[in-house]
Copies of this chain bind each other. A is one copy, B any other.
């Protein structure tokens, strides 16, 4: 068992939460900005105080290595991300990094022996808010994205990732790739949904991540003056789009229980108060843990577009812009986490994640597991994001104990 120092953890969490803090106690700490530099500096200082070996790779991922008794053993990697959404919350990402840090500190304090090296990581740009895509650091590290392409990515002002890294002093020398085989990766994150809270549990042991599809559709009608055009002569792209939005909402109750479906973007052309809309572009996000269900949802969505357009006399284009199968995390790591949760007596359940995480990419290169702690009201990506401190502590205990067991 590893003993968490509650006061130290709380002090550290409060201190890090001051960096990029918003008026409403949220975080505005976009990747590779000054606030990101400041929190990275704090992180590196804290790692160096622990006497761990810090290294920074060429896209700014920060690693710290605590040696085990067998320095040639495959290490255990733990961590998450310190960047935030615009006006996001204090728990998303940051909590995972700080529980990993507290784990290293607790092991150090107590002189707990572990055979394997333990490496902590802060992944660059998980959120994808300033630079796209999201999961940039872990995706590049695991070979999903090309390093040069990542460095050339630009923000809205045309600044490249490379320039931004140099500006904040985090363009490291290490190649962005694994130096050796890892034994396992473990990440704790907030759930970002309401399930643990609904069940009154503190810890979720994550089986895997939903598969998903992103669709983009454009509906074409006829632009005309809203006054002299009788209703029967109209081909209104927005009327057809409204049918699609309603149908997409209904889809979730039609194919399987766990399905979620969302229209998040919708843009109207020409978008003038007295002009009948000639075109609407909208996105459809469908998710399920069952990849076949995702396929069915895509077919249903296409059929609903056809129906809506037939009714209104409009036409449409449909493109699938992203499809990702569901992720199943390592059974081995999950078993260890379940045993650890039982050992520390934390109220827990197994759970599936609706959102992707750095762990989804790391899962490609090593045995990977994730832990969730509850999100009050399921809120996330806004300043009201919150996790009860008692749940944080239960999560910390399970996380540290799982790490210890993986590294034993």
Interface of A with B (CB < 8 Å)? 191-195, 210, 212, 214, 222-231, 233, 236, 238-239, 241-243, 245-246, 249, 252-253, 259-268, 271-277, 283, 285, 287, 353-356, 375, 377-382
Contacts and interface: CB of A to CB of B under 8 A. Distances in A.
B260 A231 contact: yes
A272 B85 CA distance: 12
Given A266-B238, A268-B266, A354 B195 contact: no
Given A193-B229, A285-B226, A264 B260 contact: no
B283 A263 contact: no
Q: What number of copies of this chain does the assembly contain? A: 2
Contacts of A353: 227-228
A301 to B, nearest CB: 14
Nearest to A228: B193
Nearest to A252: B231
A264 B272 contact: yes
Nearest to A194: B233
B273 A285 contact: yes
Given A273-B264, A273-B285, A276-B262, A380 B225 contact: yes
Contacts of A230: 193-195, 260, 378
A194 B276 CA distance: 15
A368 B249 CA distance: 51
Interface centre among A214, A242, A268, A378 (most CB of B within 10 A): A242
Pairs A-B, 4 closest by C-beta atoms: A193-B228, A227-B354, A242-B245, A228-B354
Given A230-B193, A242-B246, A245-B238, A223 B381 contact: yes
Contacts of A229: 192-194, 260, 354, 378
Contacts of A225: 192-193, 354-355, 380-381
Contacts of A236: 249, 262
A245 B240 CA distance: 9
A286 to B, nearest CB: 9
Given A246-B243, A285-B274, A228 B265 contact: no
Contacts of A275: 262, 264, 381
Contacts of A239: 245-246, 249, 263
A330 B287 CA distance: 62
Given A212-B227, A227-B212, A378-B229, A271 B276 contact: no
Contacts of A223: 381-382
Contacts of A253: 231
6 contacts: A192-B225, A210-B227, A228-B355, A229-B354, A230-B378, A239-B249
Contacts of A263: 238-239, 277
A177 B194 CA distance: 65
Contacts of A277: 263-264
Contacts of A231: 249, 252-253, 259-261
Contacts of A272: 264-265
Contacts of A273: 214, 264-265, 283, 285
